[in-house]
A and B are shown apart, each in its own frame.
Chain A
Amino acid sequence: MPPYTNYHAQRSYPMPDEPFCTELSAEQQALKEKEKGSWTQLSHAEKVALYRLQFHETFTEMNRRSNEWKTVMGCVFFFFGFTGLLIWWQRVYVFPKKPITLMDEWKAQQLQRILDMKGNPVQGLASRWDYERKEWKK
């Protein structure tokens, strides 16, 4: 683990206060000395090494996509499923007895009564019932 530093770089704040590596080996210190001279003397590898001393990641590395959304959505669905278990427990231990008006026989009789009264005959319930054939319209 790197030591706690003030190095903090992100896309919106790309110039951190400190360089990434502050404890330099002798070889790295020699490179920093060479950096004080003309930069045309630096090889490509040395320039990359200096960049890596200064910054933790390149912009491409920093901005790379990740698969974090899979973990997040997986956990979201898991907790949503857990909520389903809570609803099950609630149905068993909290819900009152089903009222008589929601029993199948009552609902069938209520439906016949509404059809007899021709409730909502234009676009609603009675309009969907075929009174000649005594069945639902197709």
Chain B
Amino acid sequence: MMFPLVRNALSSLRIRSIQQIRARQSHSKHSPDFHDKYGDILLASGTAFCVVVWVFTATQVGIEWNPSPVGRTTPKEWNDE
């Protein structure tokens, strides 16, 4: 008894979504808003600025991250005294 109801609901969902897709394609943007005009530039410049600043800060500024010595540090004799 539930099964044909569920099948109808699912099929109507599929039909409605195709209609919505067609409607969305026919509705062209009337006038571009702020985000249409500047969104891409803001996103690209913000990301670039962030990446540049953090790569610089992480590597050039003298912060000691103290990474693992494995594969990086060559041991040195310590009990010479």
Q: Which of A's residues lie within 8 Å of B, judged by CB?
A: 60-61, 64, 66-71, 73-78, 80-82, 84-85, 87-88, 91-92, 98, 102, 104-105, 107-113, 115, 125, 128, 136
Contact count band on B? 35 or more
Assembly CA distance A111 to B44 (angstroms): 44
Q: Are B66 and A71 closer than 8 Å at their CB atoms?
A: no
Assembly CA distance A107 to B62 (angstroms): 17
- Please report whether the interface of chain A is mostly helix, strand, loop or mixed according to DSSP: helix
- Please report whether the interface of chain B is mostly helix, strand, loop or mixed according to DSSP: helix
Given known pairs A61-B27, A67-B35, the reply for A77 and B50 (CB within 8 Å) is yes
Inter-chain residue pair count (beta carbon < 8 A): 116
Given known pairs A60-B23, A80-B50, A81-B53, the reply for A108 and B39 (CB within 8 Å) is no
Q: Are A81 and B43 closer than 8 Å at their CB atoms?
A: no
Q: Are B66 and A102 closer than 8 Å at their CB atoms?
A: yes
Give the residue of B36, B49, B54 whose beta carbon is less than 8 angstroms from that of A78.
Answer: B49
Contact with A along B61-81 (1 / 0, CB 8 A): 111101001110111111100
Query: Which of B27, B44, B51, B61 neighbours the largest number of chain A CB atoms within 10 Å of its CB?
Result: B61
Query: In the complex, how many angstroms separate the beta carbon of B76 from the nearest chain A beta carbon?
Result: 4
